[in-house]
């Protein structure tokens, strides 16, 4: 699985470096995979290149000491230009009856309409001449959610798993905790990668897709750096430096050689004297890309013929190259536990080799020595050959502090920022603060990158023991977790397909989630019973009794509008809308008085009525029963029901006469006994 | 970030637009005396006109859409001094001009009706109106299934000093606006922009269903053109925004105390530098929009205290053209 676009065929080919992370041996915390498997590290990435170039450019401001904590960047003002524009002349527009009007969308917090607004009614203004503008502009500051629907669904299932995971305090000391965290983190990264892939497969390469790709790559870089720096705290984890190098190569890969560089290399009679060659070799060594570096070095070994005059000189250079290759190959692996001794021995070999290199060709000598200096962790050599602060920092950690832990990295930052400045874009600033272990500040910059990243990273960081590991200081991220999650979930709440996911997020916000549910649950439009029941389920699950009643009433009213009274009554009964039910029943009775027809018979047939049902509906039901008993000539039973109706005092006064009329009619039959007790019979 | 324009097809200036509860439709009103209902079409991805009719005898100044719990109901108010209640007739065809049936005409006002607003649904089907006569009127449809009957529940003169002896008002001098408190956990409240008094005042409904004037939002140096009460969203305080003729947008914070509210002016924004006519909060009460004679809509957001960003900051501007010099594009 590759994150970046396919390899540029014009660029110089390298031996593919295969990275196959799983299966992971979590028991040792050494095989933790940094990324989903990547086939090649050397794919050119336009965006990454641009970033590196820009950073490198800024990094050339040598000698500038960057403050550890720079002032926050100002909130950026977004500008929307209306197109087509309305007629506007600042000199006289305000003197006409025109101004601007605005109204926010009732469910989407970043959508609004604006229009040219008539300040006064035309009756109050003298006739004036202006161009009438009747355009209405629907504006949206929000992002397109639809294109991220698959990603959001996938990410939500990971979020839900993370919420269920046993990450409470009692698990803190257990290695399983770190394994779970890394698994969750890994799943999130996979989701990001999947989205990047889908974007890359999208045939339309418009600006929106490019921006989205850039955002997701930034998200990937930040997420993975957080994992490396914060999620794994085991003392046995000794891969920080190698993980950082892998992270750098994956997120900010070494770009392919340019056409000019390739031309220079191809046309060069002797690669040993080519600047581009050495420049590339330095990068490979800095970034720990040793197999490629070795291939590079091998390419400048010149086969020597016995008869050649230069045999001695060439042999010497070839020997040096072989020694450097040997030195690179013998670099100790950080995974071994007795590395300290092996490392010291290897550094000593490097140092001896450096001293032994004396060549007539000073250019060659200098380059070999510098390669060895980088390998042995010389800060000047490393930073001098790095083109950005990120490259410099990671190379410094990798070559000088290969066994360092996350908290040691601060020490390495000083020399890096003496030489390099950091681009003010939010991603660079966030990365810088992650290295400084100022996670609250880093998240502050993530806010400007993407709300998904901000909310989900905060949520996962809250599940780590990060508050205890960074100076025991209480971090704000725990306070902000809910706010960020709600901010992320809010646009989903009124989305046509993701609204349920939005509400599920709110269920994980114990403090404020319910308030947002109350505000938004009633605003979900429902066109069918299935969706309606889903909405009610959310109300039931979260105890939103008032909102549930409102929604049921709204459903009832919808049926009322199309005169489906049975459904209306059922929903109004469910909502406990006694007044409305009384009104509907009275309407039926009034129609009976006016027409003599029982039009509510069929309506009541489909309504389950019992003694606990609404009294108006119950009355109507009993009254209907009275009529059917009369029809079937069960007069005594009909009389009993009629007495019930008379005693109930439920029908409107206008209807009492009708009931009495029925009573008299029954009494006229002669053998019907109607008992009206003044007190309740026992 | 996107803009989707469409022509409202009104024959005169638009005075108001109102979304329905779900934001799937909206209604526009104009000096051309017409109401037009628009519906968002998923097929064309655009707003389509679904009905248009002459609704008043004069310019229509405001329009409001009721909660769907009470059916599809629109109220409109006009310079003709009336408020009209319209109910959608599902069986009538779209664009037939008959789809919206006038169910009631409320003619109690003695001047042009300048603002109307339906109460939040938990208060029932109530409608507040403020007319050029300076009287706040609360109407209620006691029987929701019968929209022909509206009861005038209360009438309150918003000028406290004039209420005992109201002088003859001068239509041209007065300008009123109102907004309901959307919180369901408070007694019913309305904030009213009080015409020539150059302030806004909160009116509260007591236990006897009588509306009483309460706190004053002062500091304005000219007419208050618009008021909007922010959705509460669990905050321990309320926010009310005002738009004023004195070129400023103001935001007041209302903190509960034993007597009512302690009122604090938390933002006094003069970026428009011209008369401001409209203020409107978003659904979460986190972004305020304001619009004025400078032809721009400005969006304001509260700073984050945790990030040492105090006060309200302009986060966006809607501009008419690219010549504008105070915008910053990203």
- CB pairs below 8 Å between A and B: how many? 281
pLDDT for B173: 55
pLDDT for A655: 86
pLDDT for A557: 93
Nearest of A4, A38, A7 to residue A22 by alpha carbon: A38
Cβ atoms of residues A231 and A185 within 8 Å? yes
* Contact partners, residue A303, CB within 8 Å, separation at least 6: none
Q: Can you tell me the distance from the alpha carbon of A395 to that of A383, in angstroms, rounded to the nearest whole number?
A: 8
Nearest of A582, A8, A515 to residue B283 by alpha carbon: A515
Q: Can you tell me the distance from the alpha carbon of B76 to that of B127, in angstroms, rounded to the nearest whole number?
A: 11
pLDDT for B80: 95
CA distance A526 to chain B (A): 10
Cβ atoms of residues B100 and B35 within 8 Å? yes
Q: Which residue of B has its CA nearest to A555?
A: B69
Q: Can you tell me the distance from the alpha carbon of A284 to that of A229, in angstroms, rounded to the nearest whole number?
A: 24
Is residue A131 less than 8 Å (CB to CB) from chain B? no
Nearest of B139, B129, B148 to residue B64 by alpha carbon: B129
Q: Which residue of B has its CA nearest to A97?
A: B13
pLDDT at A45 over 80: no
Q: How confident is the model at residue B103 (pLDDT cuts 50, 70, 90)?
A: very high
Angle at A203 between CA A198 and CA A204, to 5 degrees: 105
Q: Which residue of B has its CA nearest to A571?
A: B69
Q: Can you tell me the distance from the alpha carbon of A141 to that of A110, in angstroms, rounded to the nearest whole number?
A: 5
* Contact partners, residue B239, CB within 8 Å, separation at least 6: B229, B230, B251, B252, B253, B254, B266, B281, B285
Q: Which residue of A has its CA nearest to B121?
A: A550
Nearest of B141, B137, B146 to residue B125 by alpha carbon: B141
Query: Which residue is listed with tokens 């706040």?
Result: B136
Nearest of B98, B118, B101 to residue B50 by alpha carbon: B98
Q: How confident is the model at residue A64 (pLDDT cuts 50, 70, 90)?
A: very low
Q: How confident is the model at residue A255 (pLDDT cuts 50, 70, 90)?
A: confident
- The partner residue sitting opposite B322, judged by closest CB among A81, A112, A560, is A81
How far from B117 is each of A100, B101, B130, CA to CA, in Å?
Answer: 20, 19, 9
pLDDT for B60: 97
Q: Which of A78, A451, A545, A652 to mutate to test the interface with B (most CBs of B within 10 A)?
A: A78
- B29-76 pLDDT, tens digit per residue, is 999 999 999 999 988 888 999 999 999 999 999 999 999 999 999 999
Q: Can you tell me the distance from the alpha carbon of B133 to that of A682, in angstroms, rounded to the nearest whole number?
A: 63
How far from A296 is each of A19, A278, A317, B254, CA to CA, in Å?
Answer: 20, 9, 15, 71
CA distance B202 to chain A (A): 22
Displacement of CA B83 from its chain's centroid (Å): 15
pLDDT for A27: 36
DSSP 3-state assignment of A556? Answer: helix
pLDDT for A601: 82
Q: How confident is the model at residue A409 (pLDDT cuts 50, 70, 90)?
A: confident
Is residue B282 less than 8 Å (CB to CB) from chain A? yes
On the 0-12 / 13-18 / 19+ scale of CB atoms within 10 A, B42 is exposed
Contact A134 B8 (CB under 8 A): yes
Cβ atoms of residues A476 and A466 within 8 Å? no
pLDDT for A671: 73
Strand-strand pairing, A78-81 and B312-319: parallel
Angle at B146 between CA B145 and CA B150, to 5 degrees: 125
Is residue A680 less than 8 Å (CB to CB) from chain B? no
CA distance B167 to chain A (A): 21
- A283-340 pLDDT, tens digit per residue, is 999 999 999 999 989 988 877 765 555 666 778 888 899 999 999 999 887 665 566 7
The answer to whether ipTM exceeds 0.90 is yes
pLDDT at A43 over 60: no
Percent of chain A with pLDDT over 70: 81
All domains of chain B in start order, with CATH: 14-159+173-282 (2.130.10.10)
- The partner residue sitting opposite A550, judged by closest CB among B9, B121, B315, is B121
Q: Provide the β-strand partners of residue B88.
A: B100
pLDDT at A39 over 90: no
- A275-291 pLDDT, tens digit per residue, is 899 999 999 999 999 99
Q: Which of B7, B8, B13, B113 to mutate to test the interface with A (most CBs of A within 10 A)?
A: B13
Provide the chain B residues 75-94 that lie in CB contact (below 8 A) with chain A: 79, 88, 90-91
Tokens of A415: 């020399």
**Taking residues A555-584, what's their average pLDDT?**
92
Contact B69 A523 (CB under 8 A): no
Q: Provide the β-strand partners of residue B301.
A: B287, B313
Cβ atoms of residues B241 and B279 within 8 Å? yes
Tokens of A93: 């527009």
Average pLDDT, chain B: 89
Q: Dihedral (C-alpha) B252, B255, B258, B259: value to the nearest 10 degrees?
A: 0
For residue B225, how many other CB atoms are within 10 A of its CB?
A: 23
Contact B280 A102 (CB under 8 A): yes
Tokens of B282: 């978003």
Q: Can you tell me the distance from the alpha carbon of B38 to that of B29, in angstroms, rounded to the nearest whole number?
A: 11
Q: Can you tell me the distance from the alpha carbon of B88 to that of B74, in angstroms, rounded to the nearest whole number?
A: 8
The winner for highest mean pLDDT among A78-82, A164-168, B255-259, B261-265 is B261-265
Nearest of B107, B94, B202 to residue B150 by alpha carbon: B107
Q: What is the DSSP letter of A19?
A: B
* Beta strands per DSSP E along A513-586: none
**Least confident piece of the model among A371-385, A489-503, B298-312:** B298-312
* Chain A residues touching B278 at Cβ < 8 A: 99-103, 117
Cβ atoms of residues B264 and B255 within 8 Å? yes
Contact B1 A584 (CB under 8 A): no
Q: How confident is the model at residue A501 (pLDDT cuts 50, 70, 90)?
A: very high
Cβ atoms of residues A426 and A446 within 8 Å? yes
Nearest of A387, A416, A448, A415 to residue A55 by alpha carbon: A387
Strand-strand pairing, B100-106 and A135-140: unpaired
Q: Dihedral (C-alpha) A619, A624, A630, A632: value to the nearest 10 degrees?
A: -130
**Taking residues A576-593, what's their average pLDDT?**
90
- A235 phi, psi to nearest 5 deg: -65, -25
**Least confident piece of the model among A175-179, A188-192, A365-369, B112-116:** A175-179
pLDDT for A266: 84
Tokens of B85: 């209640």
Cβ atoms of residues B48 and B62 within 8 Å? no
Tokens of A39: 């086939």
More confident residue, A75 or B224: B224
- A421 phi, psi to nearest 5 deg: -105, 165
Q: Can you tell me the distance from the alpha carbon of A233 to that of A231, in angstroms, rounded to the nearest whole number?
A: 6
pLDDT at A26 over 80: no
* Chain B residues touching A481 at Cβ < 8 A: none
pLDDT at A169 over 50: yes
pLDDT for B240: 97
Strand-strand pairing, B73-78 and B83-88: antiparallel
- The partner residue sitting opposite B68, judged by closest CB among A88, A132, A557, is A557
Alpha helices in chain B (DSSP H): none
The residue count of chain A comes to: 682
pLDDT for A265: 84
pLDDT for A70: 42
Q: How confident is the model at residue A63 (pLDDT cuts 50, 70, 90)?
A: very low
Q: What is the DSSP letter of B99?
A: S
More confident residue, B19 or A166: B19
Q: Provide the β-strand partners of residue B36.
A: B28, B52
Neighbour order of strands in the sheet with B260-269: B224-229, B237-244, B249-257, B260-269
Cβ atoms of residues A295 and A328 within 8 Å? no
Percent of chain A with pLDDT over 90: 38
Helices A653-668 and A635-648 cross at an angle (nearest 10°) of 150
Q: Dihedral (C-alpha) A9, A10, A15, A16: value to the nearest 10 degrees?
A: -40
pLDDT for A6: 36
Nearest of B245, B263, B266 to residue B312 by alpha carbon: B266
Evaluated on CA atoms A143, A147, A150, A151, the torsion sign reads: negative
Q: Which of A74, A84, A98, A100 to mutate to test the interface with B (most CBs of B within 10 A)?
A: A100
pLDDT at A41 over 60: no
Q: Exposure string (b/e) for A523-535, b if CB count within 10 Å is 16 or more?
A: bbbbeeeeebeeb
pLDDT for A334: 67
Q: Can you tell me the distance from the alpha carbon of B100 to that of B85, in angstroms, rounded to the nearest whole number?
A: 9
Q: Can you tell me the distance from the alpha carbon of A495 to that of A156, in angstroms, rounded to the nearest whole number?
A: 15
pLDDT at A5 over 60: no
């Amino acid at each position: 699985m590759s994150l970046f676009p396919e390899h540029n065929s014009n660029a110089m080919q390298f031996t593919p470096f295969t990275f196959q992370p799983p299966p992971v041996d979590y028991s040792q915390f050494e095989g933790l995979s940094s990324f989903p498997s990547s086939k090649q590290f050397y794919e050119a990435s336009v965006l990454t290149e641009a970033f590196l170039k820009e950073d490198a450019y800024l990094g050339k401001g040598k000698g500038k000491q960057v403050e550890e904590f720079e002032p926050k960047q100002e909130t950026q003002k977004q500008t929307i230009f209306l197109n087509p524009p309305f007629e506007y002349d600042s000199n006289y527009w305000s003197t006409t009856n025109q101004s601007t009007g605005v109204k926010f969308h009732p469910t989407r917090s970043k959508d609004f309409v604006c229009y040219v607004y008539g300040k006064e009614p035309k009756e109050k203004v003298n006739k004036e001449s202006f161009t009438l503008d009747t355009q209405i502009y629907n504006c949206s500051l929000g992002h397109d959610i639809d294109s991220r629907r698959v990603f959001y669904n996938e990410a939500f299932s990971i979020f839900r798993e993370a919420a269920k995971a046993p990450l409470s305090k009692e698990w803190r000391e257990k290695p399983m905790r770190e394994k779970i965290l890394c698994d969750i983190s890994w799943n999130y990264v996979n989701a990001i990668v999947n989205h990047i892939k889908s974007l890359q497969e999208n045939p339309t390469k418009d600006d929106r897709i490019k921006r989205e790709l850039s955002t997701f790559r930034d998200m990937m870089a930040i997420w993975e750096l957080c994992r490396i720096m914060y999620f794994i705290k085991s003392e046995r984890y000794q891969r920080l430096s190698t993980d950082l190098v892998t992270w750098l190569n994956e997120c900010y890969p070494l770009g392919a050689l340019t056409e000019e560089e390739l031309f220079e290399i191809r046309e060069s009679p002797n690669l040993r004297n080519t600047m581009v060659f050495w420049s590339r070799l330095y990068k490979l060594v800095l970034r720990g890309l040793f197999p490629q570096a070795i291939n590079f070095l091998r390419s400048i070994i010149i086969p020597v013929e016995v008869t050649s005059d230069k045999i001695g000189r060439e042999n010497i250079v070839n020997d040096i190259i072989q020694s450097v290759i040997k030195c690179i190959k013998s670099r100790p692996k950080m995974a071994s536990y007795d590395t300290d001794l092996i490392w010291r021995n290897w550094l000593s070999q490097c140092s001896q080799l450096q001293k032994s290199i004396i060549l007539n060709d000073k250019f060659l000598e200098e380059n070999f020595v510098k390669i060895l200096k980088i390998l042995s962790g010389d800060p000047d050599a490393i930073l001098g050959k790095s083109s950005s602060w990120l490259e410099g920092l990671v190379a410094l950690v990798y070559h000088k502090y290969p066994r360092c832990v996350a908290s040691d990295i601060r020490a390495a930052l000083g020399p890096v920022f003496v030489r390099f400045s950091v681009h003010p874009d939010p991603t660079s600033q966030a990365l810088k603060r992650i290295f400084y272990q100022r996670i609250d500040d880093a998240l502050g910059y993530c806010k400007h990158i993407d709300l998904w990243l901000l909310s989900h990273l905060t949520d996962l960081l809250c599940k780590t023991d990060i508050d205890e590991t960074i100076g025991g200081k209480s971090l704000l991220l725990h306070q902000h977790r809910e706010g960020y999650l709600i901010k992320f979930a809010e646009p989903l709440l009124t989305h046509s397909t993701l609204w349920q996911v939005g509400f599920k997020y709110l269920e994980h916000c114990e403090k404020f989630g319910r308030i947002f549910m109350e505000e938004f649950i009633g605003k979900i439009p429902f066109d069918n019973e299935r969706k309606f029941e889903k909405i009610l389920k959310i109300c039931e699950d979260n105890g939103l009794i008032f909102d549930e009643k409102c929604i049921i009433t709204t459903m009832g009213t919808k049926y009322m509008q199309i005169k489906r009274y049975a459904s209306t009554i059922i929903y109004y009964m469910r909502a406990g809308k006694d007044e409305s039910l009384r009104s509907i029943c009275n309407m039926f009775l009034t129609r009976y008085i006016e027409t003599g027809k029982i039009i509510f018979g069929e309506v009541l047939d489909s309504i389950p009525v019992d003694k606990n049902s609404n009294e108006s509906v119950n009355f109507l039901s009993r009254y209907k029963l009275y009529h059917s008993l009369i029809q079937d000539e069960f007069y005594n039973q009909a009389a009993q029901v009629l007495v019930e109706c008379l005693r109930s005092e439920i029908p409107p006064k206008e209807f009492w006469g009708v009931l009495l009329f029925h009573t008299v009619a029954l009494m006229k039959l002669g053998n019907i006994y109607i008992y009206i007790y003044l007190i309740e019979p026992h | 970030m996107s803009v989707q324009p469409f022509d409202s097809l009104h024959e005169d200036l638009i005075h108001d637009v109102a979304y329905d509860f779900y934001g799937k439709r909206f209604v526009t009103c104009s000096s051309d005396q017409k109401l037009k209902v628009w519906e968002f079409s998923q097929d064309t991805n655009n707003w389509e006109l679904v009905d248009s009719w002459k609704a008043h005898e004069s310019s229509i100044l405001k329009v409001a859409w009721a909660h769907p719990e009470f059916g599809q109901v629109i109220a409109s108010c006009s310079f003709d001094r009336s408020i009209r209640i319209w109910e959608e007739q599902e069986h009538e065809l779209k664009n037939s001009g008959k789809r919206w049936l006038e169910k009631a005409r409320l003619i109690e006002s003695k001047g042009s009706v300048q603002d109307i607003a339906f109460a939040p649904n938990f208060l029932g089907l109530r409608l507040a109106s403020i007319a050029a006569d300076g009287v706040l009127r609360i109407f209620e449809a006691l029987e929701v299934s019968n929209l022909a009957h509206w009861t005038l529940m209360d009438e309150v003169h918003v000028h406290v000093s004039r209420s005992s002896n109201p002088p003859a008002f001068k239509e041209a001098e007065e300008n009123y606006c109102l907004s309901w408190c959307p919180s369901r956990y408070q007694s019913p409240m309305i904030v009213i922009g009080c015409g020539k008094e150059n302030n806004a005042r909160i009116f509260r409904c007591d236990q006897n269903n009588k509306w009483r004037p309460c706190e004053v939002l002062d500091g304005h140096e000219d007419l208050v053109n618009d008021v909007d009460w922010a959705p509460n969203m669990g905050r321990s305080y309320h926010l009310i925004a005002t738009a004023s003729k004195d070129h400023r947008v103001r935001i007041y914070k209302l903190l509960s105390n034993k007597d009512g509210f302690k009122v604090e002016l938390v933002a006094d924004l003069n970026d428009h530098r011209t008369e401001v006519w409209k203020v409107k909060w978003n659904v979460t009460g986190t972004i305020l929009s304001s619009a004025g004679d400078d032809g721009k809509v400005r969006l304001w957001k509260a700073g984050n205290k945790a990030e040492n960003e105090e006060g309200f900051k302009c986060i966006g501007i809607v501009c008419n053209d690219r010549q504008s010099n105070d915008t910053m594009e990203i």
